[in-house]
Amino acid sequence: MKLTLVRAVAGSLLMLAGLLLFSSCEKYTYQIETVNPEEPVLFQTQIQPIFTNNCITCHKGNRNPDLRAGNSYNSLTKGNYVTLPAENSRLYRMVTSGSHSSFTLDSEKQLILLWISQGALNN
C-alpha cells in the first residue's frame, strides 16, 4: 500500500512537471505591419524593393511589365498599369488577384495601392 501511494505521488509529480514543461510563460505576438496613409510613399525606397524582392524573377525584361530597377517606373506608367482610381488600376488588380497575390504581403499591397493613389510619382 505504501508503494502504491509513492507511485501515485510520483506519477502526479511527473504529470505536474510535464504540464509545467509544455506550458510556456513566453507569449509570441505578431504585429501586423500597417501603412500610414498620411505619409508619402516613395517609389525608389518602398515600391521598387517590392518588385525587386518578389517580381523580377518573372518580370525581368522578357515579360511585361519590366520590373527591374531603372526600367520599372517607365514600364508601369507607359504600359497603363497605374491609373486612377487606384483600386481599379491594372497593377493593383494584378498583385491582389490570381497567382500574383501570393507573391506580396498585405502591407506591400497597401503600399502599392497608396503609391498609386498618391499619383504614382517617381520619387
Contact assessment for residue 111 and residue 42, using Cβ atoms and an 8 Å cutoff: no
Q: How confident is the model at residue 97 (pLDDT cuts 50, 70, 90)?
A: very high
Q: For 45, list phi and psi in degrees, rounded to 5.
A: -105, -15
Contact assessment for residue 69 and residue 93, using Cβ atoms and an 8 Å cutoff: no
Which carries the bigger pLDDT value, residue 38 or residue 6? 38
Q: How confident is the model at residue 103 (pLDDT cuts 50, 70, 90)?
A: very high
Question: Given this model, what pLDDT does residue 8 score?
Answer: 72
Question: Given this model, what pLDDT does residue 123 score?
Answer: 95
H/E run at residue 54: helix 48-54
| Mean pLDDT confidence for 68-94 | 97
Q: Which amino acid appears at position 100 of this protein? A: H
Question: Given this model, what pLDDT does residue 30 score?
Answer: 60
Is the pLDDT at 63 greater than 60, yes or no? yes
Find how far residue 122's CA is from the centre of its chain.
23
The predicted model scores a pTM of 0.73
Give Cα separations from 20 to 10, 11, 29 (angstroms): 15, 14, 21
Question: How many other C-beta atoms lie within 10 A of the C-beta of residue 95?
Answer: 22
Is the pLDDT at 16 greater than 80, yes or no? no
Is the pLDDT at 119 greater than 60, yes or no? yes
